[in-house]
Structures are given as C-alpha cells and as structure tokens.
Amino acid sequence: MEYLIKNAIIVDAKSDHHLQKRDILIENGIITNIDSTIKVSDKSKVIELVNLHVSAGWFDSSISFGEPGFEERETIANGLKTAAYSGFTDIILNTNTNPVPDNKGAIRFIKSNGDKAATSIHPAGTFTQSADGEHLAELFDMSQDGAVSFFDYKKPIKNPNLLKIGLQYTQRFDAIVQSFPLEASISPKGIVNEHINSTQLGLKGVPSLSETLQISRDLAILEYSGGRLHIPTISTSKSVALIRDAKKNGLNVTCSVAAHNLYLTDDELHSFDTSYKLTPPLRTKEDIKALIKGVKDGTIDMVTSDHNPIDVENKNLEFDHASYGSIGLESCFGTILSKLDLETAINALTKQSQFNLKSSGVEKGSIASLTLFNPSIEWTFSTSDILSTSHNAAMLGKKLTGRAYGIFNNKKLALHKL
C-alpha cells in the first residue's frame, strides 16, 4: 500500500531535510520520495495531523511486559500495541518473565509472538542460567537466535569473575553484557533513596554509594577484560561522572537513564504511593541536574521508559511489601521533552545502533521506520491515557509536553487517536 505523510517537520540531524516541512511518500515499506509537495493517486492513504513531526523510529532499551508467566500484568501483544502508540518502533524485552529466557527456545518464543506487530521486539537473554547469578547461560546460542544483550533483570552481577569471563567470552560474537548498578550489600534492606526524606518517613535507604560502588567495580573489570558493557538506568550524579571518565579513557561502555529519574525526586515519597517504589530509586534535584547534563553531552547514551507493569495484588500493599516498578511507555516522550530540547530528546530516543540494531533515517530510499509526534502539545497524564493492562504509573497527574501519534514500521501504520 502507498502512504503519504503530509506537511511533516522532519527531525533527523543526519537527513538533508532536517527541521524542514516536507511530504513523505512510502511505497511497499520504503521511503520513495521526500519533497515540499507530492501528488498521489486516490488510492494512497494520506496522513495529515496537527503540528506533525516525523523522526527516525524511537528505541527503548528496557521494557518489561509479563508474558510468559505474568500475562495478567501485560501480554506481548498488548505491550507492543502500547509501545507503537507511544512512538516506539523498536524495544528490548527484559528477562523478568517466568520462565526466564535463558535458552534459544525461549528467545524464539518471544520473537515469534511479536513478529506480526508494528513495533519490533528484540529479546534480551539472561546472563546466567535461571538468572541465579551462578553459571553463564547459553549466550552464544541465544545470540544466534536473536538475543541482543544479556541481563539478569535488575539483579547485580555479584561475582566479579563471572562478569570478567562473560565480557571476555562475548567478544567472540560482539555481544553486550548488561550489569545492573547496585551493590546490594551496602543497603541490604533499602527501598528508597537514602536522604532526608527516607529518615523523615522511616523508610530504609539505598545510598548513592550502592550504585557508584558497583559501577566502579564493573568499569575496572571492563578495562581489564575488554568487551562491551551496558549499565542500565543510572540515577546518581557520581555515576554520570564515573561513566564520563570511562568513556574519555576509551572504555566500550554505554548507559541509560529512566525517564522518570529525569523528572521526579524522592520528595514524591511523602504520599507513600507505591507507584513511586522504583529501582533504582528516585533521587534528588542535584542528581537530576547531573543526569540531564549527562544526556545532553552524550555521557548517557539513551533514555528509557523502563516500563514495568505490575499487577494490583503486588502494588496495592504497604510500601515495604509492594513490588518495584512503574509503567512508562505512554508518558515517556512527554516526560523527556519536559526536561530536554527537542533535538536532544530525539537523539536520546534513536540509539538502536548501540545494540547492533539497524536504524533507518528519514531519507529517500530508506526503509520506513518512523515515529510521528506533536512536540508542542501540553497535557496532563491521567488514567484515561493508560493503554497498558496495569496501572502502576509514577507519572500520573504530571504535566507533560509532547506526545506521540504513533509509528510507521514493518510496513504497518499504527496511529493512536489523541
């Protein structure tokens, strides 16, 4: 089918049409023409939306759904629909399922369940068997079947020798190891940021030291072993400084930050709303300033929604006993654009190549993998905006700027009626 995107401002620094208003013609999934005005036949589907902007498709490096094992939280089908309507053409699915994906059969299952969606799903495989931290999983076999990185979801790699061996081994097939930045022994029962608020509220704290200590160790191992290391969802100013120095020294390290850690501080905890029980925890205004600077100067490679649906039975509990996590796909772009300028935001959302994934630009002859959005709309995130099955949303009630219309990807158009 032929699609014509009308009067769209292109946001793609690598494109000859950057920040220009253009028509974009798509035929059989390929961008065949970009011009100030394009005339087409009556058979073409014309897409014309208010203040329409188009960029290369957005990428989210940390997504959880539930299936298999926790379908009541989110199925793969509904999760991918939510991702598409939220502007994401590509997502990495985390390993917090039951069973965990620690073999090639599990990777094939995930890919086959998402192969007909507009949003492309890229599974992570566990770093260790059963994600138990003891023995390496079938890393090579999983990579051959489509696993794009290896991660025991939100579990630190306790054994430094295991991380060293994993980084050395994965160099043979250019794979990425993810290491969650938490030295848990520093805060064995901590659940929120260790600061004034944790003391006032009587909640056990997680000091920033628990994050930076793990990062320091992991960077030292990376320097020794080589390989490719990704540090997901950093949250402290010292973490930014450590990774900035490591990159200057030539280490092959990337990192991400969760969108809500750019917006929310631990002041939110006074409500005792368990939607704010997150890992890593919400930190301070000073940390937010450093994280935003890190995104702007490229120290932080990408921003993720860190979407993690949790069923009511595990969220509507006393704060100490509730599960960690918040959904974030629907509010992700609005959260980011409330804190960053448009070009920086789009750059932070289009870093597929960091995970060896192909990224198509907005150019004639390219595969059409595009996100359609309105960057100026101001709105308040409410329950009616939630597309996910679960409703544990830390950004509920927050005023946001910018919203996705949807995507064109995999020869499919997925538009959300705002």
Q: Does residue 37 carry a pLDDT above 90?
A: yes
22 and 141 share one domain: no
Report pLDDT for 303: 98
Q: Does residue 401 carry a pLDDT above 90?
A: yes
159 and 99 share one domain: yes
Q: Does residue 417 carry a pLDDT above 70?
A: yes
Report pLDDT for 418: 65
Per-residue model confidence as pLDDT tens digits over 39-89: 888 888 999 999 999 999 999 999 999 999 999 999 999 999 999 999 999
163 and 295 share one domain: yes
> Is 145 inside any structural domain?
yes
Domain span at 27: 2-53+364-379+399-415
Cβ contact 376:402 at 8 Å: yes
Q: Which residues does the annotation mark as catalytic?
A: 306
Closest residue by Cα to residue 355 from 408, 301, 407, 409: 301
Residue environment code for 117-138, b if the CB has 16+ CB neighbours within 10 A, otherwise e: bbbbbbbbbbbbbebebeebbb
Report pLDDT for 88: 98
> Is 238 inside any structural domain?
yes
130 and 22 share one domain: no
Model's pTM, two decimal places? 0.96
Distance CA 104, CA 119 (A): 21
Number of structural domains (the chain) is: 2
213 and 103 share one domain: yes
Distance CA 272, CA 275 (A): 9
Q: Does residue 279 carry a pLDDT above 70?
A: yes
> Is 386 inside any structural domain?
no
Contacts of 313 (CB under 8 A, 6+ apart): none
221 and 307 share one domain: yes
Per-residue model confidence as pLDDT tens digits over 337-364: 999 999 999 999 999 999 999 888 999 9
251 and 103 share one domain: yes
Report pLDDT for 112: 95
Q: Which CA distances in Å does 185 have to 189, 190, 364?
A: 9, 10, 53
264 and 372 share one domain: no
98 and 195 share one domain: yes
- Specify whether the backbone of 300 is left (phi greater than 0), alpha (psi in -120 to 50) or beta: beta
The CATH number that applies at residue 147 is 3.20.20.140
258 and 404 share one domain: no
> Is 115 inside any structural domain?
yes
41 and 122 share one domain: no
The CATH number that applies at residue 405 is 2.30.40.10
Distance CA 347, CA 345 (A): 5
